[in-house]
């Protein structure tokens, strides 16, 4: 008996958050401070920075959320869901209430 060739699933190309969530690419972890102090690998940092990759339709349509694609944000990682999409696993689906700040240029 010959087996029919198994078809591999197509690789994921897009991750679109649903509900009041955003997809964030976490910035690289800093290994040294501005003063040159080396930080240990397992340091516990309660908030992280990153760039918004995409926002859900709910966030995009709601004026109370001033978050747009490509914004640099500060977010609380508690409740963030890692997306196993890239080898370095820097993508996270984050509830919008865990985005605590958006960095803007001074005008």
Which DSSP category does 32 fall into? B
Q: Please state, in angstroms and rounded to a whole number, the distance separating the CA atoms of residues 18 and 1.
A: 45
Average pLDDT for residues 42-50, to the nearest whole number?
A: 69
pTM of the model: 0.72
pLDDT at 107: 73
SS3 content of the chain, % helix, strand, coil (to 5): 5, 30, 65
CATH 2.30.33 fits 21-28+46-103, yes or no: yes
Q: Tell me the per-residue pLDDT of 69-81, one tens digit each, with 9 for 90 and over.
A: 999 999 998 889 9
Which DSSP category does 38 fall into? B
pLDDT at 105: 86
Q: How large is the C-alpha radius of gyration of the chain? A: 18
């Amino acid at each position: 008996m010959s087996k029919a060739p198994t078809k591999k699933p197509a690789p994921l190309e897009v991750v679109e958050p649903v509900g009041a969530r955003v997809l964030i690419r976490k910035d690289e972890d800093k290994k040294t401070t501005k003063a040159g102090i080396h930080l240990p690998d397992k340091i516990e940092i309660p908030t992280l920075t990153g760039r918004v990759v995409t926002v859900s339709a709910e966030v995009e349509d709601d004026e109370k959320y001033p978050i747009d694609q490509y914004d640099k944000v500060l977010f609380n990682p508690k409740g963030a869901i890692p997306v196993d999409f890239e080898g370095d696993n820097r993508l996270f689906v984050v509830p919008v209430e865990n985005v605590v700040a958006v960095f803007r240029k001074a005008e």
